[in-house]
Every structure is written in C-alpha cells, then in structure tokens.
C-alpha cells in the first residue's frame, strides 16, 4: 500500500488487506506519489486490529533518530504493539538532493545508520539514555511513550551491500 485518493479510501483499503488475510502492511519511504509512512500507518492502526505495521524501509538520513524513536513508540502504543521499524541507509541520490540532504558515500551512511539504531534501541529501553558517536549525540534522552512490545520494537534492516 502506498496511497489512496482519500482518507476514507485509505481506511477501506487497510481493512480489506487485513480482511484478506495479509500479515503486514508496509510503506516505502520516497518523496514521489505516495503517503508519508508514519502518519499513513497511524491511520491504518486506527482501523485494523491484527496486521503488523512496517516502513519498508525508512531512509535513516531523512530523520533524527531521537525524534523517530518518539514517533515509532507512539505508533506502537496506538497500534497495540504492532510496529516493525524498517530502516536503511538510503539509496536514491536524487531524493537526497531534492531535500538538500548530503548523499555521502555508502560507508558513511551505514555508519550513521548503525549509530541511529543504537540511539533508538537506547530510547526504546525506557530509561534515560546518553549516546555520543561520530554522527549523533543524545544526552539523558527519555522517550515517552514506552513501546508496548515487551522486547522492544523489532528492526527490519534493508540494504543491498555486503556490509548491510
């Protein structure tokens, strides 16, 4: 699922997917003709009961990991614990350029992704968390709400290179 002509049709599509037995609904993370993944999945959460919700996958460099952690934990609570967090280092140089985001070499993007995952895992743990890396720094980060999922929010990593 990527979009629909209206909110009502988006909700109907989500209900139909769930009713047809799909296990998950996911959205990619592109600037083209599609909905933004996090709010679109929040709308799906509001009208479904069972399907897992996933971003397949968010480009790490488009979002601050502390802010994303709050958005994802909120979505986890609103969905009753049905979120899988899909992340990747990003691959579409044209989309990076259109936003004014530096499209660094793959190794640098993957280093940032690894640090972002460390920040988010710390944020999901439920205690104030401090992290200092080469790319991100957080001090006494205390994200609320807490994830509903007992073991934290699962990560799905997407990438095509050996290092990923």
The answer, yes or no, to whether the previous bond of 57 is cis (omega within 30 of 0) is yes
Q: Return the pLDDT at 86.
A: 96
Q: What pTM did the predictor assign?
A: 0.92
Read off the pLDDT band of 24 (50, 70, 90): very high
Alpha helices in 54-164 (DSSP H): 65-78, 93-99, 106-124
What is the rounded distance in angstroms from the CA atom of residue 15 to the CA atom of residue 151? Answer: 27
What's the pLDDT tens digit per position in 128-144? 999 999 999 999 999 99
Q: Return the pLDDT at 74.
A: 97
Q: For the ranges 62-76, 85-99, 102-116, 149-163, which has the lowest average pLDDT?
A: 149-163
The dihedral sign for the CA sequence 61, 64, 65, 69: negative
Domain 7-158: give its CATH code: 3.20.20.30
Is residue 120 within 8 Å of residue 85, measured between CB atoms?
yes
Query: Tokens in use for 25?
Result: 């609904």
Higher pLDDT, 127 or 164: 127
Sequence ranges of the domains in the chain: 7-158
């Amino acid at each position: 699922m990527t979009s629909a002509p209206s909110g009502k049709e988006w909700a109907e599509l989500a209900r139909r997917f769930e009713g047809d037995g799909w296990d998950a609904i996911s959205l990619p993370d592109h600037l083209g003709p599609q909905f933004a993944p996090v709010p679109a999945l929040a709308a799906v959460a509001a009208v479904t009961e069972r399907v897992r919700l996933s971003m397949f996958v968010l480009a790490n460099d488009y979002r601050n990991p502390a802010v994303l952690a709050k958005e994802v934990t909120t979505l986890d609570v609103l969905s009753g614990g049905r979120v899988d967090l899909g992340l990747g280092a990003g691959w579409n140089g044209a989309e990076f350029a259109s936003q004014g985001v530096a499209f660094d070499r793959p190794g640098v993007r993957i280093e940032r992704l690894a640090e972002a995952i460390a920040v988010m895992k710390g944020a999901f743990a439920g205690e104030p968390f401090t992290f200092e890396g080469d790319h991100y720094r957080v001090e006494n980060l205390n994200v609320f709400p807490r994830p509903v999922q007992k073991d934290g929010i699962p990560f799905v990593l997407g990438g095509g290179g050996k290092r990923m």
